[in-house]
Structure 1
Amino acid sequence: MKLECPYCNTDLIEGFIDSGRYSFKWHEKNMNLIEKFTVFGGEVLSSSPKVLCYRCKNCNKIIIDLNEIP
């Protein structure tokens, strides 16, 4: 299935982001330093370090569908 970038309508490229050996986490902008910069902070979005995403090389955006995270 081909997906288009919602910003510029260019075809998106399917790929993944790898967070190394740690789980994939969400950090809010205003979290305190301990939450931001330690493995203990943040909301775990996936226990896997690899998350499927779609990249637009034209406008340099990455889209992650949280419904596709196992």
Structure 2
Amino acid sequence: MEWFEMKCPYCNAEMIKGTIYGDRYKLKWLPDTKKLSMGIWATGGIELGKGGGFAGRPKVETFMCEACHKFIIDADTEANL
């Protein structure tokens, strides 16, 4: 079992390691300057995590701060830039 210690960069509280799961498609980050295509597609967004489609349920490992409700996601962006 891996053990991680992560301090929140906002409030310095200890963060909890967990996972955000999607339903079918990969989660994508889209800057506020871009809009969804046809109101539903995040075209050109950065994919977060692994899985989705036929590869299984999409998920991304995340750290959450219970004190200030911030999340930290380590996105694998090399394939998306």
Say whether the fold is shared (TM-score over 0.5): yes
Per the alignment, residue 25 of structure 2 pairs with: 22
Which sections of structure 1, spanning at least 5 residues, go unmatched?
none
- Taking only the aligned residue pairs, the percentage that are identical comes to 36
From the two aligned structures, give the one with the greater helix fraction: 1
Q: 1:1-70 maps to which residues of 2 (within 5 A)?
A: 1-34=4-37, 37-38=40-41, 41=43, 42-48=45-51, 49-67=58-76
For 1:61 and 1:13, the matched residues in 2 are separated by 11
TM value normalised by structure 2 = 0.67
For 2:46 and 2:21, the matched residues in 1 are separated by 17
- Kindly provide the amino acid, as one letter, of the partner of residue 33 in structure 2: N
From the two aligned structures, give the one with the greater strand fraction: 1
4+ long deviations beyond 6 Å:
none
TM value normalised by structure 1 = 0.76
Please state whether the residue corresponding to 1:14 is helix, strand or coil: strand
Q: What is the root-mean-square deviation in Å for CA atoms of aligned residues?
A: 2.0
Which sections of structure 2, spanning at least 5 residues, go unmatched?
52-57, 77-81
Check the 8 A contact 2:50/2:60 in 1, yes or no. Answer: no
